[in-house]
Amino acid sequence: MIACYCRVSTNDQKPDSQRHALTRWLNGNGIPAQHVQWFEDTETGAAIRRPAFDALQRAVFTGEINTIVVWKLDRISRNQKDGTTLLADWCERGVRVVSVTQQIDLSGSVGRMIASVLFGIAEIEREHIRERQAAGIAVAKQKNVYHGRKPGSTKATPKRAWALRRQGLNKTEIARALGVTPQTVWRYLKQEPIQPKTMRVELYLVVENNNSFVRGKTRSREDIEWDILSRYQMEKPDKGGNRYILTIPYQTDEELDRIINDEILGEAHRIADLRNGFIEADVVSLDDPNRSW
């Protein structure tokens, strides 16, 4: 089994570009979807304990995974010691590691050596970002134009602090992972985490070519399923049909509208358009029969 691992640092970031690059690698190497398992995290690279990454580690330990594919090695870790230790363990278990954008294929002792250098560069890059930020703040303070974050804003988010807490990290470890002080973590954990609502919807999606001389609607549908619909616990009642059941997490009705109209339908249209095609789609709520898009 092949594992594809994606990671973004914050909820504002999207893993779409990573998923697209990994999917292209899989397709280019003729690897069928049923041989691939996806793992996806929204956590900082400084923290080694992440929900999807923990699941990946368990799969490696049980021998289910023989190849791990990532967009870039720093998706695994931005810490040289942790990253090198992980790779050494994987290589000893006979696991192959592929970094798509860096175009490297790591295994054995040579792979461990190369990875050690690359992880070290990622760690230096992270420290340089912090140094540049600190230098910029110092200059701003000298000019009396730096006043800190606006009241009510946070460097990280209470939700991320709670997620790390549920993974078993203590306050000091959470502070290190989020780049804040333990006092800030204590303040975050005093706030009750907001549980997102979910809505199950039925999507009817047809992908067509613009004319009879164009080919690509099958590939467009595959990309839409992999890059977009799979994020929402996609169920397909009829394997060859046009109906999908999606479960969408959201906080407000405005956010739900944006997810459906922009992140699902808008992105699906963009993917079809890239291959000179178009989509016809309807979305109906299964939880609220009066809602449709």
Nearest CA among 247, 246, 226, 248 for reference residue 236: 246
Top CATH class, 2-121: alpha beta
Amino acid at 265: L
Query: Distance (Å, rounded) from C-alpha 52 to C-alpha 169?
Result: 16
Tokens standing for 83?
């990253």
| One pLDDT digit (tens) per residue for the chain, 293 residues | 899 999 887 666 778 888 888 999 999 989 988 899 999 888 766 666 788 888 898 888 888 888 999 988 778 876 656 676 777 778 778 888 888 887 778 765 555 566 666 656 555 555 655 666 666 667 666 777 655 555 444 455 677 777 777 667 778 878 777 777 888 888 888 776 656 688 999 999 998 888 777 677 888 888 888 888 888 888 998 888 899 999 998 878 888 888 898 889 888 888 888 888 888 889 999 998 788 88
Query: Distance (Å, rounded) from C-alpha 31 to C-alpha 181?
Result: 45
Predicted confidence (pLDDT) per residue in 56-111, tens digit? 988 888 888 889 999 887 788 766 566 767 777 787 788 888 888 877 787 655 55
Cβ proximity of 200 and 247 under 8 Å: yes
Choice among 9, 107, 230, 285 that is catalytic: 9
Query: Distance (Å, rounded) from C-alpha 126 to C-alpha 131?
Result: 9
For the chain, where are the E strands, in sequence order? 2-8, 36-42, 67-70, 96-99, 104-106, 197-209, 243-250, 277-285
Query: Distance (Å, rounded) from C-alpha 204 to C-alpha 261?
Result: 14
Cβ proximity of 179 and 259 under 8 Å: no
Top CATH class, 197-285: alpha beta
| DSSP strand pairing (67-70 vs 2-8) | parallel
pTM greater than 0.75: no
**Residue ranges per structural domain of the chain:** 2-121, 149-195, 197-285
Q: What is the number of other CB atoms lying within 10 angstroms of the CB of residue 224?
A: 23
| DSSP strand pairing (2-8 vs 36-42) | parallel
CATH topology of domain 149-195: Arc Repressor Mutant, subunit A (1.10.10)
Amino acid at 281: A
- 3 CB-contact burial (10 Å; exposed 0-12 / middle 13-18 / buried 19+): buried
Measured CA to CA in angstroms, residue 136 lies from 10, 141, 149, 234 at distances of 22, 9, 14, 44
Query: Distance (Å, rounded) from C-alpha 2 to C-alpha 35?
Result: 6
For 25-144, where are the E strands, in sequence order? 36-42, 67-70, 96-99, 104-106
Strand order in the sheet with 104-106: 36-42, 2-8, 67-70, 96-99, 104-106
| 9 noted as active-site residue | yes
Tokens standing for 174?
């959470």
